[in-house]
Amino acid sequence: MATILVTGGCGFIGRHVTEELLENGYDVRILDALIDQVHGDAEASAPDAAEVFRGDVRDKSAVEKALEGVDGVIHLAAEVGVGQSMYEIARYVGGNDLGTAVLLEAMIGRPVRRIVVASSMSVYGEGRYRTADGDQLGFIRRKPERIRIGQWDPLSPDGRALIPIATDEEKPVDLASIYALTKYAQEKQVLIFGEAYGVEAVALRLFNVFGAGQALSNPYTGVLANFASRLANGQPPMIFEDGQQRRDFVHVRDVARAFRLALEKPNAPGHVINIGSGQAYTIAEVATLLAEAMGVPDIAPDIMNKARSGDIRNCFADISKARELLGFEPGYRLENSLAPFAEWVRSTGAVDRGAEMKRQLEERGLVS
């Protein structure tokens, strides 16, 4: 029976990955720092069958201890949050990039067969677009002067209107935030290491992950959790820009299955692979659907008509490669999964820190 180390295994995605692995016959060891922003005062939350080590992935001795007798690694430990990464730069670069470097150094000479690292759709910057004539464009970036006057949609280099389309892994990266920079560095470190040392390496670029177990009191944890925290406290979800930006929302159970498949499938090593639902939703639409699911349809979102530094307009996944290499098929759709999510939010309770997050960004000039 294989033993898998899951770094960050007590976090939102990590707990579901751990359960998925245990249900499929793996032994699981967890290394998690249990940082306050994610866990608060809570104790480690993990299935009883998992072995939990408390430690920072930047701590070489803790990592070496956690790697003893391990056959594979799923590397989830990371600081998460586009907005926060723009002012807590050292924290994000240290936690994500240095942490990955320490882990990889500790793996040298050990019989670890495969490592799967969590990357992010944020590395793409803007997703793919095409013109009305059908020309596909791989590199599009919005101009700050247009954003400042509320012209949210990007244009082609010659000024033409663009239509967003699904983003595949061949789209060139465009790192628009410190968080994106660190995630790209993580995936490249792992793939370079794997090739050099003969370790099978896979990077999964996750789109917007949702589901029960998100840190509702962490304003940087994800858009659905942020909206839920606001609605649970009778406050309108805060939406930057005009709410028509599009994203892909993938259920955490689908993500957990994707990580297991990435450990198992023979053709996955050496690849970066999108993990999403393959569906696009506007942020305003998501806020409305969630308010209905939570029984507060009269709470309309607060459309702020302001932009956050580092945000992009549209990005949703082409998951053809995940289907081909992993046999991955999403089992959950957002619109069919919000009722159980809302029930979990009601039973859990949430502290709304959305206004605090907005204030921190505004004080640093990261909202315009």
Calpha distance 154→140 (Å, rounded): 7
**What local confidence, expressed as pLDDT, does residue 348 receive?**
77
Q: What is the pLDDT of residues 35-66, one digit of tens each?
A: 755 544 344 467 789 999 999 999 999 999 99
Strand order in the sheet with 163-164: 136-137, 129-130, 163-164
- Using CA atoms, how far residue 235 sits from 6, 20, 228, 229, 367, in Å, is 36, 35, 9, 8, 20
Strand ranges, E, within 89-192:
114-120, 129-130, 136-137, 163-164
Residue 1 three-state SS = coil
What's this model's pTM, rounded to 2 decimal places? 0.92
End-to-end CA distance of the chain: 53
Q: Are strands 129-130 and 163-164 parallel, antiparallel or unpaired?
A: antiparallel
CB 229 within 8 A of CB 216: yes
Burial (CB < 10 A; 0-12, 13-18, 19+), residue 349, is: exposed
Closest Cα to residue 256, out of 116, 152, 82? 116
CATH tag, 3-363? 3.40.50.720
- Angle CA 319–248–119, to nearest 5: 65
179 included as an active-site residue: yes
Residue 367's identity, in one-letter code, is V
**Residues 6+ positions from 222 with CB-CB distance below 8 Å:** 208, 209, 210, 214
CB 313 within 8 A of CB 154: yes
Q: Which of 26, 124, 129, 179 is catalytic?
A: 179
Q: What is the pLDDT of residues 113-155, one digit of tens each?
A: 999 999 999 999 999 999 999 989 878 999 999 999 999 999 9
Calpha distance 83→204 (Å, rounded): 22
Q: Return the exposure string of 248-271: e unless at least 16 CB atoms fall within 10 Å of the residue's CB, then b.
A: bbbbbbbbbbbbbbbbebeebbeb
Helices 252-264 and 12-23 cross at an angle (nearest 10°) of 50
**What local confidence, expressed as pLDDT, does residue 251 receive?**
97
Residue 291 three-state SS = helix
Sign of the torsion formed by the C-alpha atoms of 354, 360, 361 and 367: positive
The DSSP call for residue 3 is E
The DSSP call for residue 366 is -
Q: Does residue 363 surpass a pLDDT of 80?
A: no
Q: What is the pLDDT of residues 185-236, one digit of tens each?
A: 999 999 999 999 999 999 999 999 999 888 776 666 678 888 888 898 899 9
**What local confidence, expressed as pLDDT, does residue 212 receive?**
87
Q: Does residue 1 surpass a pLDDT of 80?
A: no
